[in-house]
Copies of this chain bind each other. A is one copy, B any other.
């Protein structure tokens, strides 16, 4: 792989760029981004080697599309229009159903691989890019059978080279499950942050009392609204369902407290404690 185009030089695209440069010594990374500031930053940080326009795609070996999921759905057909026979286009967004649908009948569908790396931080932009972000992490691949065999191989080689393990899944199942283990966590964090900030308006110094537990639960509330709003929009039905179940569980907990049923409170927590073993399995 020599010519790589990264569309969207933020946290995920930038981290792929850094890892690709580390693993493929003669790779040249072309950065495309609607923000010129981001492109200049990425160039200065040596995340990319050159600033480029979309037409650079035509003879690229690999194109990574790492932009907000609404922009991906909007631009992906144009990207696929431009590729050559040997170009692999990987989309790394957090929702998979809409994107798979929109390119399903594209004449270059076989050049495309739908993927979702379960990796990231609460930060965004080129400065957030870092080497080894994907090491030991899971890559979810959707509809692998629709990608040309040689390009599948190329992708798997790349993912393996940066240290990822692979899980195959259909787009519908992906979007449903990811709502539970990722999207809901973000909303829970944002609303927790909001609840405490609202309180703080009237009660000064409340944050002096916050410790690592609070920090841990609200960390995701630092995430980018520009990235997350389109995700929630595309995955609306699933996210609303998870929110409903979460709110029901919280309301039940509150009712137990109001009824002084602390045996139930104890067993609610006890029954959830085995999250320990589950987390040990995934981390």
Q: Which residues of A contact B (CB under 8 A)?
A: 118-122, 137-138, 140, 167, 174, 176-178, 180-182, 184-200, 203, 205-223, 225-226, 228-229, 232-233, 236, 239-240, 242-247, 249-251, 253-254, 257-258, 260, 262, 265-276, 278-279, 281-283
Contacts and interface: CB of A to CB of B under 8 A. Distances in A.
A207 B181 contact: yes
B215 A217 contact: no
Which secondary structure dominates chain A's binding surface?
helix
Residue from the set A178, A236, A278 with the largest chain B CB neighbour count within 10 Å = A278
Contacts of A167: 205, 208-209
Please list the 9 inter-chain residue pairs (A to B) with the smallest Cβ-Cβ separation, ordered nearest first.
A225-B269, A118-B211, A181-B210, A193-B275, A185-B217, A191-B249, A229-B266, A193-B272, A243-B254
Nearest to A123: B276
Contact of A182 (B177, B194, B211, B232): B211
Given A185-B217, A215-B283, 16 more contacts: A176-B203, A178-B209, A181-B207, A182-B214, A185-B192, A189-B217, A190-B269, A191-B246, A195-B245, A197-B272, A207-B278, A217-B217, A218-B275, A219-B279, A225-B265, A232-B265
30 contacts: A138-B211, A167-B208, A181-B214, A184-B195, A185-B192, A185-B218, A187-B253, A190-B268, A191-B246, A191-B272, A192-B246, A193-B275, A194-B272, A197-B271, A207-B278, A208-B282, A211-B282, A215-B279, A216-B216, A217-B217, A217-B219, A221-B273, A222-B273, A226-B266, A229-B262, A229-B265, A232-B262, A243-B250, A247-B251, A250-B250
A250 B119 CA distance: 25
B240 A195 contact: no
Residue from the set A203, A205, A222, A236 with the largest chain B CB neighbour count within 10 Å = A222
Contacts of A118: 209-211
A181 B195 contact: no
Contacts of A140: 209
Contacts of A184: 192, 195-196
Nearest to A194: B272
B180 A196 contact: yes
Nearest to A240: B257
A229 B120 contact: no
A182 B213 contact: yes
A88 to B, nearest CB: 23
